[in-house]
Amino acid sequence: MVGGGEGAFIGAVHRIAARLDDRYELVAGAFSSDAGTSQRSGQALGLDPQRVYADYAAMARQEAARPDGIEAVSIVTPNHLHAPVARAFLEAGIHVICDKPVTTTVEDARMLQALARKQGLLFAVTHNYSAYPMVRQAQQMVREGQLGELRVVQVEYAQDWLAEPLEQDGQKQAAWRTDPAKSGGGAIGDIGTHAWQLADTIVGRPVQALAADLASLVPGRAVDDNVQVLLRYQGGARGMLWASQVAIGHANGLRIRVIGSAGGIDWCQEQPDELLYTPLGEATRILRRGTASAGAAAARLSRIPGGHPEGYLEAFASLYSEIAAHLLARRGGGNAPSDAQFPTIDDGLRAVQFIETVQASARAGGSWITVPH
Amino acid sequence: MVGGGEGAFIGAVHRIAARLDDRYELVAGAFSSDAGTSQRSGQALGLDPQRVYADYAAMARQEAARPDGIEAVSIVTPNHLHAPVARAFLEAGIHVICDKPVTTTVEDARMLQALARKQGLLFAVTHNYSAYPMVRQAQQMVREGQLGELRVVQVEYAQDWLAEPLEQDGQKQAAWRTDPAKSGGGAIGDIGTHAWQLADTIVGRPVQALAADLASLVPGRAVDDNVQVLLRYQGGARGMLWASQVAIGHANGLRIRVIGSAGGIDWCQEQPDELLYTPLGEATRILRRGTASAGAAAARLSRIPGGHPEGYLEAFASLYSEIAAHLLARRGGGNAPSDAQFPTIDDGLRAVQFIETVQASARAGGSWITVPH
Amino acid sequence: MVGGGEGAFIGAVHRIAARLDDRYELVAGAFSSDAGTSQRSGQALGLDPQRVYADYAAMARQEAARPDGIEAVSIVTPNHLHAPVARAFLEAGIHVICDKPVTTTVEDARMLQALARKQGLLFAVTHNYSAYPMVRQAQQMVREGQLGELRVVQVEYAQDWLAEPLEQDGQKQAAWRTDPAKSGGGAIGDIGTHAWQLADTIVGRPVQALAADLASLVPGRAVDDNVQVLLRYQGGARGMLWASQVAIGHANGLRIRVIGSAGGIDWCQEQPDELLYTPLGEATRILRRGTASAGAAAARLSRIPGGHPEGYLEAFASLYSEIAAHLLARRGGGNAPSDAQFPTIDDGLRAVQFIETVQASARAGGSWITVPH
Amino acid sequence: MVGGGEGAFIGAVHRIAARLDDRYELVAGAFSSDAGTSQRSGQALGLDPQRVYADYAAMARQEAARPDGIEAVSIVTPNHLHAPVARAFLEAGIHVICDKPVTTTVEDARMLQALARKQGLLFAVTHNYSAYPMVRQAQQMVREGQLGELRVVQVEYAQDWLAEPLEQDGQKQAAWRTDPAKSGGGAIGDIGTHAWQLADTIVGRPVQALAADLASLVPGRAVDDNVQVLLRYQGGARGMLWASQVAIGHANGLRIRVIGSAGGIDWCQEQPDELLYTPLGEATRILRRGTASAGAAAARLSRIPGGHPEGYLEAFASLYSEIAAHLLARRGGGNAPSDAQFPTIDDGLRAVQFIETVQASARAGGSWITVPH
């Protein structure tokens, strides 16, 4: 692991996620560029002090040189460090699991894409919401045509943790996430990209054009904290995306509705075990993970029976386990498993392209811009 | 009443609304331009056949001439007839209660505004959703500053009754509502205008500019059935408006969220007795009509204790009763009651301006356009 | 109308209910035994002062003697007066619509039952919750066997308005409802009887035996304010009934679940337009009033499309309209309409028997007692 | 671990729970009394084959004899084996973590209680629902008097997985759970005991007397599948408990409401991150795990911010981590941590006493019986 030392949030999440299904063992880390902090973090995690590093480049080199060196690295640093860290490990021949957005520029993402291809290495991006069982159910329903021709995609990601200028009070998370140099964007990069990727996972077709309005609604904030985007999908569906970090009353309100000519679905991350499904002209059905009302795609990622809630950590763990299935296949030289899916550097690149297009539209006063592909 | 004969939907709603609080008596009507239909409708309603008309102009003249003639007319025809009918009654000196959108052109709305002023007559437009008790509660909270500086307004009105091309099968409601000549627009005119007006009622400040995407998603449809709009409010708040008639899974899903620097609120028309309110940094509260958690503005329009649901007809009746309070004051020559409010021709004109601006933006490919005031 | 003067709650509800569908006209009343109060109430309602009475017996005699005398009386007094008032009107040959519980003793209910039969008069009891469209839907589903063999009936009616000793502060509603002489019981008579009747309407088979625990949980209260009952139904189904007036957090929480071998249903009065239905082994469906997911029994009592909420007053109005259909049939000498149903004196008697059996069980320390039939 | 081999459900849950917070390492097991099955299970879990046993007694002896022997055993067998297995490990000086109900007889539970005391060993019973953060929040609120004097406790646990006679089709879980010799009772032992324990955790005072109705509603079933109990708590509060395995429409519907003179709370296991709290006369508040609206007791057991759902596995893991805190304290000879709590053999014994009292009441036709203490 690189990043995720004391005071970090997402590092601990990745560690639980990797451990939950017993498919990974954490054996080395560069948890902080401060040597003392990194060592303390490593010690708290029970690691061999020899394998706790302050310098990620050293870690990449030394682990690559060990006979029992790491097989994959998990990168959980602030966004602007993803690219150099990932590059170092790819160059050392180590698979990469990287937090999102994968980079802060399209250019960097392209570089990593090319490098991963050249090295023949796996590159996963932890757009974790795509691994919820009922998101996979939704994806399967769209693919199988249960919704008919897609017409409308409404996605939103509303939070309220930045409703006040926390970054001015020294809160660490708030500080780097609202620093354009470290985050590559505000709400659009942090959560707008999750919303886009969730929609992308389910609808399976690209956004052709968009018009976006970015705002910094908290006085003094250096990045956007509210994003509103109109979307036109390939094939004619229309969409809206709203991402906000100032939406008082919303904790982690990621929600998507996809409506076609034959049915509509509705999923909220805060009640992830349920998917509302309305076939045209019939009653709405509450499809539930872990019951007969959910199909094979959801069942694959389900651990316990319906009514025993699985949540955020389980979905994150599922993403790690999907990646593990591919890592194992590669270890044995076998074929990639056909059903285990995860967002790759290709998806990560497209996410960064989405961010840049939104930012370009906003700079142009909210004009419509074609999304590159 | 003009309109609302056999087969109509909204006429019966207006009649129940007017009757519910026992403030009106229906004594005359031109329910249809077909004399037989109008007479049958009038007979079913127990009216004196002498006061059942086929011609609204004759009704206006003759009722104005009677000593016991009507005091106000309720106009519930298709949209394109609102203007000529309202004009006839205004010219005859009769107060007007008119369904929305008040006209199909801004020009007509201006004409009615001027005529009502000149005649000194009351002109109410039945944007009925503004009369729900918890909408008034929301309005009061914004006015009193409980939400702080407004930042975000998210409003949506999602229905699914036009997910199929009903207008091609002779369904009467669908036929005129999807005929541009009769409706003046599709989803934007029928329900988008409700969504706009609900937001307008609560936030109390105008939209400055908007960018809109209109779509006809059902093949062969002559009007828009899906509307998506980005909004910039005076004072800096950002908003989104979505109105759709093809949103399978949504019956009459009018919902608004208003978020400020000090709190956020959330109201859904399908559960109208509740208003979610989250003060910054505190637990969300469920404010309920008819309980101590609702304030004076909600209590004024509440008939029965909390937990005994009031719904659409009660809110529509409240609108009629608010108008009745003004009609009574005018009858006695007194001052208008300060607390009884209803949408006037001024609001109706602004709603039509909103529709036209949305249509203009859409024609211009979704460009940002300033809303006239 | 008898009762329902100034300060009363339920009288105004009955008046709106009778008026909503335009099937009744209020022409006479004894709104209070105080002549001045009764006259003021009558005047506020626009009645002819000649037909406003202080003495219900005089009203019964005089209205019976008028050629345009009332056709039916609505009795909305405190419970202990139901029997003498109903008797007076039955003896005068006038149909009776009476609030629930119909009497405070089984003996009185039997007397009224016999008298109504002898006089050949209609006697309706306003157990209003049975007239919600989705309650009728539930009844129809049970009758048609969609739930299979009935197994479990869970019904509850939880309120919190008596969580404090309001009766000690002179609140009028609280005062008579907690006075055993006027109410004939506390929570069991006021709301327990509604819960029983709702279950009775839907399941259509009698309770054979019960064991009950009554408690007065607010210090100093003279009647029960919390009731818990175990039920054994004819045919083997088991049930529980909870009625409470001290359940802080519940406004008017009447809820019923009925579970059989082939499916289960769930209905809450506070969201009356929805009925959850789960067929064995399938997804839960949200059946909605006013949509294709509701059947004929619900559609009969539905006024407006789904998503436009109908509530308590509409259901109460439906009950009045069901009664009106029978009154009209009797007026014309025709047959009773086969589909218009309402609770009669027979149901009212059974409700009082239920109350007395619960009270007997509680007096016996919660022993099981057979319910008489 | 003893039990939890191939085909078992709860064993895997315990393993994830123990692993999630990285406080345990699984090193030995007797996963099945069939040696081949046990070895296969152990191999799948990556254990040293030397430490995989078929005989739990051998495991207890041999692990106790090893210098690196297990510190605690997790017992996840069918209920009737809990007592002999626990006894063997206690006698070998090994701490015990045992699934619930701890035994199938009070006698056995007393034996284990005495033995654990004599040996000075920790004995935890995995009544896992008590470790949800918002259950701890509820417990804290009751302890601190926020609800005032307790008045009503309504608890239910409704499932539908046994709505059909699965045990007649060879389903393994259904088979032993409906075999009285193996389970010690049906719904009352399997889930009624969870419901009782959840209430016990929150309200913190004992049930004094109860009257119970047990039923086997699925034809041919050998144990109860529906349980209804009236409760009288010490101090005067009244309660009801419903546990059902035939409640079609309910997956794992454990819900509790606790109402006092100053407020009421409502918690559902299927939405475990929320606790509804209504102070007397005020709006209902939605308290959420991971936000400022939750207190210290909830925060202790919370891993990730509000809105990122934690579920069943996280709560189960918290229980294991609470136990780990005590195991660590004992290892170091230190004091037990004052805040880390878990159900002990004392609680387990009381749960079995509750089961037996319910069964005794049911055998006596539903009479009231005093609960022994």
Kindly state whether residue B197 falls inside one of the protein's structural domains.
yes
What is the spatial distance between Cα D181 and Cα D223, in angstroms, rounded to a whole number?
A: 10
Q: A318 pLDDT band (50/70/90 cuts)?
A: very high
Which residues have CB under 8 Å from C124's CB, separation 6+?
C95, C96, C97, C98, C319, C323, C342, C343, C344
Is residue C184 very low, low, confident or very high in pLDDT (cuts 50, 70, 90)?
Answer: confident
What tokens appear for D222 in the block?
Answer: 């050998």
What would the mean pLDDT of D156-181 be, rounded to a whole number? 90
Of the residues C108, C125, C142, the one at which a domain ends: C125
Q: What is the distance in angstroms between the Cα of A154 and the nearest Cα belonging to chain B?
A: 9
Give the residue on B whose Cα is nearest the Cα of D287: B283
C313 to B305: CB separation less than 8 angstroms, yes or no: no
Nearest to B310 among C46, C306, C311 (CB): C311
Q: Does A280 touch chain C (CB under 8 A)?
A: no
Q: Which residues of B touch C9 (CB under 8 A)?
A: 304-305
Q: Does a structural domain hold residue A355?
A: yes
D285: nearest CB among B281, B284, B291 = B284
Would the CB atoms of C261 and D163 count as touching at under 8 Å? yes
- For chains A and D, CB pairs below 8 A equal 102
Domain that holds residue D150: 133-306+347-363
Contact assignment for B313 to C312 by CB distance below 8 Å: no
In SS3 terms, chain C reads as CECCCCCCCHHHHHHHHHHHCCCCCCCCEECCCCHHHHHHHHHHCCCCHHHECCCHHHHHHHHHHCCCCCCEEEECCCHHHHHHHHHHHHHCCCEEEECCCCCCCHHHHHHHHHHHHHHCCCEEECCHHHHCHHHHHHHHHHHCCCCCCEEEEEEEEECCCCCCCHHHHCCHHHHHHCCHHHHCCCHHHHHHHHHHHHHHHHHCCCEEEEEEEEECCCCCCCCCCEEEEEEEECCCCEEEEEEECCCCCCCCEEEEEEEECCEEEEEECCCCCEEEEEECCCCEEEEECCCCCCCHHHHHCCCCCCCCCCCHHHHHHHHHHHHHHHHHHHHCCCCCCCCCCCCEHHHHHHHHHHHHHHHHHHHCCCCEEECCC
Inter-CA distances, B82 with B56, B104, B108, B183, B224, Å = 11, 8, 9, 10, 21
CB-CB contact of D317 with D18 (8 Å): yes
**Does D279 or B372 have the greater pLDDT score?**
D279
Amino acid A185: pLDDT: 83
Nearest to B340 by CA among B317, B353, B360, B324: B324
Candidates A273, A275, A286, partner chain C, best to mutate (most C CBs within 10 A) = A286
Q: Please calculate the CA angle A200-A202-A206 and round it to the nearest 5 degrees.
A: 35
Any chains having at least 3 CB pairs less than 8 A from chain B are: A, C, D
Instruction: Look at A283 and C285 and tell me if their CB atoms are within 8 Å.
Output: yes
**Contact call for D257 and C249, based on CB within 8 A:** yes
- The overall average pLDDT reported for chain A is 96
For residue D1, the 8-state DSSP code is -
Separation of CA C108 from chain center: 17
Is 90 exceeded by the pLDDT of residue B298?
Answer: yes
Share of chain B above pLDDT 90, in %: 91
Same-domain pairing of C353 and C214? yes
Confidence of residue A65 (pLDDT cuts 50, 70, 90): very high
Q: Return d(Cα B155, Cα B147) in angstroms, integer.
A: 17
Judgement on whether residues C142 and C161 belong to the same structural domain of the protein: yes
Residue type, A51: R
Pick from B228, B260, B365: CB nearest A368: B365
| Nearest-CA distance B161 → chain A (Å) | 9
Within a domain: C322: no
Q: What is the pTM of this model?
A: 0.97
C240 and D238 in contact by Cβ < 8 A? no
- Residue A280 pairs in a beta bridge with none
Are residues C216 and C252 both part of a single domain? Answer: yes
**Domain presence at residue B2:** no
Q: Is the pLDDT of residue A127 over 80?
A: yes
With contacts defined as CB-CB under 8 Å, which chain B residues touch D288? 283-284
Given a contact cutoff of 8 angstroms between Cβ atoms, the answer to whether C230 and C138 are in contact is: no
Q: Which residues on chain A are in Cβ contact (under 8 Å) with C283?
A: 277, 285-288, 291, 293
Q: Which pLDDT tens digit goes with each residue over A163-176?
A: 999 998 888 878 88
Q: Is A305 on the interface with D (CB under 8 A)?
A: yes
Q: Could you tell me if residue C192 is inside a domain?
A: yes
- Give the domain CATH number at B139: 3.30.360.10
Tell me which of A14, A26, A194, A313 to substitute to probe the interface with D (most D C-beta atoms closer than 10 Å). Answer: A313
pLDDT digits (tens, 9 = 90+) for A294-312: 999 999 999 999 999 999 9
Angle between helices C193-203 and C133-143 (to 10 degrees): 50
What is the pLDDT averaged over residues A269-286? 98
Residues of C in contact with D157 (CB under 8 A): none
D244 touches C at CB < 8 Å = yes
State which residue of chain D sits closest to C280, comparing Cα positions.
Answer: D248
Residue D227: pLDDT band with limits 50, 70, 90: very high
Mean pLDDT along residues D332-350: 91
Give the residue carrying structure tokens 């209590």.
B299
Interchain proximity C261–D230, CB inside 8 Å: no
Question: Which chain A residues contact residue C291 at CB under 8 A?
Answer: 283
Q: What is the pLDDT of residues C71-106, one digit of tens each?
A: 999 999 999 999 999 999 999 999 999 999 999 999
Do the strands D72-75 and D150-158 form a parallel or antiparallel pair, or are they unpaired? unpaired
3-state SS of chain B?
CECCCCCCCHHHHHHHHHHHCCCCCCCCEECCCCHHHHHHHHHHCCCCHHHECCCHHHHHHHHHHCCCCCCEEEECCCHHHHHHHHHHHHHCCCEEEECCCCCCCHHHHHHHHHHHHHHCCCEEECCHHHHCHHHHHHHHHHHCCCCCCEEEEEEEEECCCCCCCHHHHCCHHHHHHCCHHHHCCCHHHHHHHHHHHHHHHHHCCCEEEEEEEEECCCCCCCCCCEEEEEEEECCCCEEEEEEECCCCCCCCEEEEEEEECCEEEEEECCCCCEEEEEECCCCEEEEECCCCCCCHHHHHCCCCCCCCCCCHHHHHHHHHHHHHHHHHHHHCCCCCCCCCCCCEHHHHHHHHHHHHHHHHHHHCCCCEEECCC
Residue A323 lies in a domain: no
Is B216 within the bounds of a domain?
A: yes
Does pLDDT of A208 surpass 90? yes
Distance CA B334, CA B320 (A): 19
Instruction: Collect all residues of chain B within an 8 Å Cβ-Cβ radius of residue A265.
Output: 249
Query: Residues A228, B153: contact at Cβ < 8 Å?
Result: no
User: Which residue in C has a C-alpha nearest to residue D163's C-alpha?
Assistant: C261
One domain, residues D149 and D111? no
CA distance A259 to chain B (A): 6
CB pairs under 8 A between B and C: 101
CB C331 within 8 A of CB C95: no
Report CB contact under 8 Å: A305, D9. Answer: yes
Mutate to test the interface with C, among B172, B245, B304, B328 (most CBs of C within 10 A): B304
Q: Write down which residue in D100, D125, D150 finishes a domain.
A: D125
Residue B338, CA atoms < 13 Å, CB-side half-sphere? 0
> Do residues B121 and B176 both lie within one domain?
no
Query: E strand or H helix at D274, and its extent?
Result: strand D274-279
CA nearest to C238 within chain D: D215
Mind listing the pLDDT tens digit for each residue in A72-109? 999 999 999 999 999 999 999 999 999 999 999 999 99
Q: What pLDDT is recorded for position B332? A: 81
Q: In percent, how much of chain C has pLDDT > 70?
A: 100
pLDDT at A292: 94
Q: How confident is the model at residue D327 (pLDDT cuts 50, 70, 90)?
A: very high
Q: How far is CA D330 from CA D82, D175, D248, D334, D335, in A?
A: 24, 39, 46, 6, 7
In this model, does residue A271 exceed pLDDT 80? Answer: yes
* Residue from the list B159, B252, B311 with its beta carbon closest to the beta carbon of C314: B311
What does the pLDDT read at residue A142? 98
The interface residues of chain B toward chain A in range 214-243, judged by CB-CB distance below 8 A, are 215, 217-218, 226, 228, 230, 232, 236, 238-240, 242
Q: So what's the pLDDT on residue C174?
A: 86
Identity (one letter) of the amino acid at B60? A
Please say whether the beta carbons of D292 and B281 come within 8 A: yes
Q: Are strands C226-233 and C207-215 parallel, antiparallel or unpaired?
A: antiparallel
Three-class DSSP category at A250: coil
Give partners of C (≥3 CB pairs < 8 A). A, B, D
- Is the domain of A45 the same as that of A137? no
| pLDDT for the residue C89 | 98
CA distance C3 to chain D (A): 29
- Crossing angle between the packed helical segments D82-91 and D56-65, to the nearest 10 degrees: 20
User: Contacts from B106-109 at CB under 8 Å and sequence distance 24+?
Assistant: B106/B349, B106/B352, B106/B353, B106/B356, B108/B82, B108/B83, B108/B352, B109/B83, B109/B345, B109/B348, B109/B349, B109/B352, B109/B353
- Total domains in chain D come to 2
pLDDT-derived band at A31, boundaries 50, 70, 90: very high
Residues of chain D contacting A9 with CB distance shorter than 8 Å:
304-305
- The token duo for D233 is 């708590």
Q: Please provide the average confidence, as pLDDT, over all residues in chain B.
A: 96
Contacts with A, B 142-181, CB within 8 Å: 151-152, 154, 156, 160, 163-164
Q: Are residues C140 and C264 in the same domain?
A: yes
CA distance B22 to B18: 7
User: Cα distance from D161 to chain C (closest Cα, Å)?
Assistant: 9
Chain A residues within an 8 Å CB radius of D290: 251
Query: Are C353 and C216 found together in one domain?
Result: yes
With beta carbons under 8 A apart, name residues in chain B contacting D265: none
Closest CA to D347 of D129, D23, D150: D129
Whole-Å CA distances, A240 to A127, A158, B189, B257, D324: 20, 13, 20, 16, 48
Region D60-72: mean pLDDT is: 98
Q: Are residues B228 and B358 in the same domain?
A: yes
Residue D7 scores a pLDDT above 90: no
Q: Within the 80-139 window of chain C, which residues sit less than 8 Å (CB to CB) from chain B? A: none
Cα→Cα distances B54→B41, B49, D366, Å: 11, 11, 72
Do residue B119 and residue B198 come from a single domain?
no
pLDDT-derived band of residue C181, with 50, 70 and 90 as boundaries?
confident
Q: Of D105, D125, D145, which one is at a domain's C-terminal end?
A: D125
Mean of all residue pLDDT scores within chain C: 96
What pLDDT does B83 receive?
97
Closest Cα in chain A, distance from residue D291 (Å): 8
Do D109 and D73 sit in the same domain of this protein? yes
Q: Which of residues 285-304 of D touch B (CB under 8 A)?
A: 285-288, 291-293
Whether B8 shows a pLDDT value over 80: the answer reads no
Whether residue B109 is found in the same domain as residue B139: no
Residue C220 maps to a domain: yes
Nearest to D282 among B281, B282, B293 (CB): B293
ipTM field:
0.95
> How many residues are given for chain D?
373
